[in-house]
Each structure stands twice: as structure tokens, then as C-alpha cells.
Structure 1
Amino acid sequence: MQAKTPWFVTAWLFLGFGGLRDFRDLAAVRTYRLLADASPGYHGGVNPQGFVKSISDANRMYEFLLSGMEMDADNNMAMLDRELASMRQGRAFLALVNDHIPKTLSGLENMAHNLEVQDKPISLSHFETLVLGIVYSAYQARRQQRDVEQQAWTEVLGRLTNVTFVDLRRTNAKF
């Protein structure tokens, strides 16, 4: 099945989480399943269909990201809102970010390369990973002290972002 990357997710990410406040306004957009390779029951809720299975789940992910995240010394992400983090969906989201997103620069570079050489649209199972990889790269770029390291993380962030835009152009060209 070919993925049709939802344009509103990319717009939401790259416009600073600004104008789009509620995914329910986009009722015409199909719901989507993501991260198909996650193991069932991982950390209280990530199942084979992924974290986002409905517009409501997309709203929840948006809420988690908007509430703020921080990175610890072991490069694990945590939500600033402890109440959200303690929810079953919050634990599942953090498990997704901390267990399924590459943590190293080389891992994210490999992910970017694999997606760049693909001739077909990004599958839905990889879109969630891509979006969260972008978020993770942005946090890493901001946290680096040395200019060389910050530049390297910024470059992988740009590559992952570019993959998203190329995929959107490819997908929208078919309409």
C-alpha cells in the first residue's frame, strides 16, 4: 500500500506548531496507521498499528509535543508535563520515541539516506518514525555545545525535513 503523507502534519511541524490547533477540523483527511513494526503491548500500548490510529490519537501526539519535551543525559526524551507522561498513551508515546527512533547521528543519517533513495512515497509505517526523528534531531541540534556537532545535527534535521517535502511533492503530484 502506498502512503499518502498527510500534508497537515508536515505543515503543523514546520509552521512552529502554530496555526493548526485541532486535527478534527480536517475531517476529510483519512485516519492513518503508523509504525507497523512496533511490538504489541510495548510499554503499555504501542501496538502493531502504531501510536496514531485516529485523528484523536494525532491530537494526543500533538498535545504531548506541544506540552514540551526535554532530553536527559542518556539522550532519552521525557515530557515536561508529568501528568501527561503518566497516562498510558503518554508512556506509549515516550516508549515509541525512546525505543524506536535512532539515537545517534549516524543512525539518523542512515534513516535519512534510506528514505532519500526510495523511489516511492514513504509508507505510513515509516512516517511516524520520520516525524519523531525530525523532532529528536531538533532537540539534539539545540542541545549541542560545539558548533561542529550542532551543525551535524542541523544537517540531518534538514535532510529529514527535505525527505518529507519531497515525499509530499511526489504524493501530491499524483492527484
Structure 2
Amino acid sequence: MNLDVKNFFKIFFWLCFERLLPDVTAGTSPASQNAASSVLNANLMFEFLLAGVEMDQDNNIALLDGEMASMRQGRSFLSQINDDIPRSLSSMVQLASELKGLRRPLTEVQFENLVLSLVYSSHQAQHQRRKVEREAWGEVLFQLANITVREIRGSYLFNYA
């Protein structure tokens, strides 16, 4: 991953968690009732991604750490990312369009799928050989990041108008 993308994600996640964590710890967020399990799930998801994943020719994700992959949570994570995340550019564009149109907060599962779609789009944007495809995946990545910011902050980072 190049330095600009790494810096973008550092700033992006800092903005997200700067807003989210004080609400959760203060108990003022609607999600704070499930905060302990949500934070645990987020930590597990981060550990799975940090331990490493690989993608086969069919775009299925596998955990590199065999022990994590054999855990119930690991199998659940793989099922979620392999079954619930769009794989094609057109279906990812459709997902972003549907999420932009929602006027209610996302459920926990929808938000997790949004974050995993963001990670998948980032991977796809980085690994495309043709510039047109990289830019298309980059646009989807930007839209998903903006939707994630809206979910956390209540407003978009960038307006589409």
C-alpha cells in the first residue's frame, strides 16, 4: 500500500474513532448498549485482518493464520466476508448507491459489511493493473468511506451536491 493511502486510512480511522469512542464510553450513543460486544467484534475483525488474509483466483478470502481460521469467530468472519460482501465493481457501486439513499442509521451487521466492503474496495483499487479500473475502484472506495463517515459523524466528509 502506498504512503498516501496509508495516511488516508490513519486520518480516516482517527476521525471515526475520535467521534465514536467518547459516545460509547459515555453511554450517549444508541450503540453503547451493545458497546462491549461491538468493541470485541471490532477488535476480532481487526486481528483477523492484521494477521493476514489472502485472496484466491475466485476472490474468496482465507485467513493466513490457521488457528484463527479454525475458531468459531474466524469461520463466522470468513462466512461474512465471503458471502455478504459484493465482489464486482458494479455490485459495489450498487451497494454504495443504496447506502447513500438510506435515511436511517445502519444496523450493526450493515455497518460491519460497509467496513469490510471498504477494505475489499481498497484492496481492489490497489491491485488493479489498468488505470481506468483503479480509478473506478478508487471512486467506490471514496463513496464508501464517505458513507462510513456519515454513519459515525452524522454528516458526510464531502457532500455530493
Regarding TM over 0.5, the answer is yes
Q: Deviations over 1:11-38 (max 9, x none)?
A: xx93289988xxx9975562549xxxxx
Question: Aligned-residue CA RMSD in angstroms?
Answer: 3.0
CA contact (8 A) 1:69 1:80 kept: yes
Structure 2 residue aligned with 1:105, among 89, 93, 103?
89
Alignment of 1:55-94 (within 5 A): 55-94=39-78
- Return 5+ residue gaps in structure 2 as ranges: 1-7, 156-161
Structure 2 residue aligned with 1:96, among 69, 73, 80?
80
Distance in 2 of aligned mates of 1:99 and 1:140: 17
Q: Is structure 2 residue 116 aligned with structure 1 residue 121?
A: no
Distance in 2 of aligned mates of 1:148 and 1:98: 25
Alignment of 1:17-166 (within 5 A): 27-28=25-26, 30=32, 32=34, 53-166=37-150
User: How many residues get paired?
Assistant: 138
Percentage of matched positions with identical amino acids:
46
Q: Deviations over 1:50-89 (max 9, x none)?
A: xx94432322111101112221111111122222112221
Q: Which residue number corresponds to residue 154 of structure 2?
A: 170
CA contact (8 A) 1:32 1:124 kept: no
Moved >4 Å (runs of 4+): 16-20, 24-29
Which amino acid in the other structure matches residue 144 of structure 1? Q
Which amino acid in the other structure matches residue 81 of structure 2? V
Q: Is structure 2 residue 29 aligned with structure 1 residue 14?
A: no
- Return 5+ residue gaps in structure 1 as ranges: 1-12, 34-51
